[in-house]
Amino acid sequence: MTCRFDVVVVGAGCFGAWCAWHLTRAGRRVLLLDAYGPGNNRASSGGETRIIRMGYGADEIYTRSALRSLEQWRSLFREAGLPLFVPTGVLWLAPAGHAMTLDTKATLTRLGVGHEVLDPEELRRRYPQVAFEDGTWGLLEPESGVLMARRAVQAVVDDAVRRGCAFRRAAVGPVGFDVAGRLDCIRVDPGEAVAADTFVFACGPWLPKIFPGVLERRIASTRQEVFFFGTPAGDPRFAPEALPAWIDFGRDQVYGLPDLDGRGFKVAPDRHGPPFDPDTGDRKVSTEGVEDIRRFLAARFPGLARAPLVETRVCQYENTSSGDFLIDRHPSLDDVWLAGGGSGHGFKHGPAVGEYLSRRALEGGVAEPRFALAAKGTEQNRAVY
């Protein structure tokens, strides 16, 4: 049996969910498929929280994308009556003269994005729970904050379904190609195929498994460890009212969030970990990772030096060579689009990614060269943070 849709989107993570949402909103008959469900715990979009910030150094393209995306996230949450954006603010911490933070300040100023520059004295006055080295300064984005990630993805899918999108939890296997260079249909269950005019594959770390000839080594999955520490009983210093989300460029590119929903104080290194398979990789954190992050806590947040480790998580980044997204048509299949390469920073941009891909697939128009498959190399040289 074969069912037919205008568009089939494979992958109900943040990119795929927003692609399906925008395509449905554009009046197309859309089927969204995912092997494990929206925001599942194997996906790069899984987990409880993600930072949404406007700062990207001199990369204005991503600042504009984040601004557009925050607008759409908040609109969706308002309509759904769901408090899934927490305006904690986002604080950049940097040593004196740090080029990316200075570039971020210039970009935010140029685009009229609200921000505050905090000198060392002001940092210590506002955040006495944090230990700052001499010369450390801060750049605060007061309107930025945290997205409740897993629930946010589920909210996007729910709203897409409400608008007419069909969703199925099903594994996908390609059926084959015809002589004209088209996919035409995919198999979702034994004996059942789904046909469409257009297919969007937004499968995160599974993309190079599905298209190894095109994407192997152009999207590299890395193992990323995340830690949650219990805050002292009755201590308000690590709550969102007292501490924003933060990104620390002075200590090995570590980021963190205040204690949200009683889950604990989230801390994680942003450095790329070792290669990781999303199907078979071990999702227990390493002893070395715990020891490293405890050393960081003792130095930066001394009040948490002996805090209990209450939760851990191993997820993955799916990295392109530069950290730029991949949003492009398959090089030999006319009816296939690829969306991926979130590279650890992509979640916040889901609405803008979905909007861009929807317009490109349905209307054509000018392509962004940085998102092109041709711009993706096979050697990691990260340039987007």
| Residue 175 scores a pLDDT above 60 | no
Residue 70: inside a domain: no
**Matching residue, tokens 């296939």:** 336
Q: Which of 357, 236, 356 is nearest to 303 (CA)?
A: 236
262 lies in some domain: yes
pLDDT tens-digit map of 238-282: 999 999 999 998 777 899 999 999 999 999 999 999 999 999 999
Report d(CA 17, CA 202) in Å as an integer.
9
- CA dihedral of residues 127, 132, 135, 139 (deg, nearest 10): -40
Q: Which of 270, 299, 315 represents a domain boundary (last residue)?
A: 315
Are residues 243 and 131 part of one domain?
yes
Each residue of 3-59: pLDDT tens digit? 999 999 999 999 999 999 999 999 999 999 999 999 999 999 999 999 999 999 999
In a domain, 74, yes or no: no
Regarding whether 306 and 230 lie in a shared domain, the answer is yes
Final residue belonging to a domain, choices 280, 315, 350: 315
Could you tell me if 306 and 332 lie in one domain?
no
The conformational region for residue 282 under phi > 0 = left, psi -120 to 50 = alpha, else beta, is beta
Residue of 60, 70, 157 whose CA lies nearest to 105: 60
Here the CATH number for the domain that contains residue 35 is: 3.50.50.60
Q: Does 79 fall in a domain?
A: no
CA distance 271 to 274: 10
Q: What is the DSSP string of 73-121?
A: HHHHHHHHT---EE---EEEEE-TT-HHHHHHHHHHHHHT---EEE-HH
What per-residue confidence (pLDDT) applies to 250? 79
- Are 38 and 171 contained in the same domain? yes
Q: How many residues does the chain have?
A: 385
Q: How many domains does the structure of the chain reveal?
A: 2
Structure tokens that stand for 205 in this block = 């770390």
- Predicted confidence at residue 252, as pLDDT, reads 76
Q: pLDDT tens digit string along 62-101? A: 999 999 999 999 999 999 999 999 999 999 999 999 999 9
Q: Are residues 371 and 227 in the same domain?
A: no
| Residue 373 contacts residue 328 (beta carbons within 8 Å) | yes
Question: Closest Cα partner for 196 from 337, 33, 31?
Answer: 31
Residue whose C-alpha is closest to residue 202's, from 65, 357, 92: 357
For the chain, helix (H) and strand (E) counts, in that order, are 9, 19
Q: Which two tokens stand for residue 346?
A: 């992509």
Whether residue 174 has pLDDT greater than 80: no
Considering 283, 315, 347, which residue would you say is the last residue of a domain? 315
* pLDDT tier at 176, thresholds 50, 70, 90: low
| Summary mean pLDDT of the chain | 95
Q: pTM surpassing 0.75?
A: yes
Predicted pLDDT at 178: 60
Q: Which amino acid makes up residue 138? A: G
Task: Give the burial string for 164-188 (b: 16+ CB within 10 Å, else e).
Answer: ebbbeebebebbeeeeeebbbbbbb
For residue 118, the enclosing domain spans 88-145+220-315
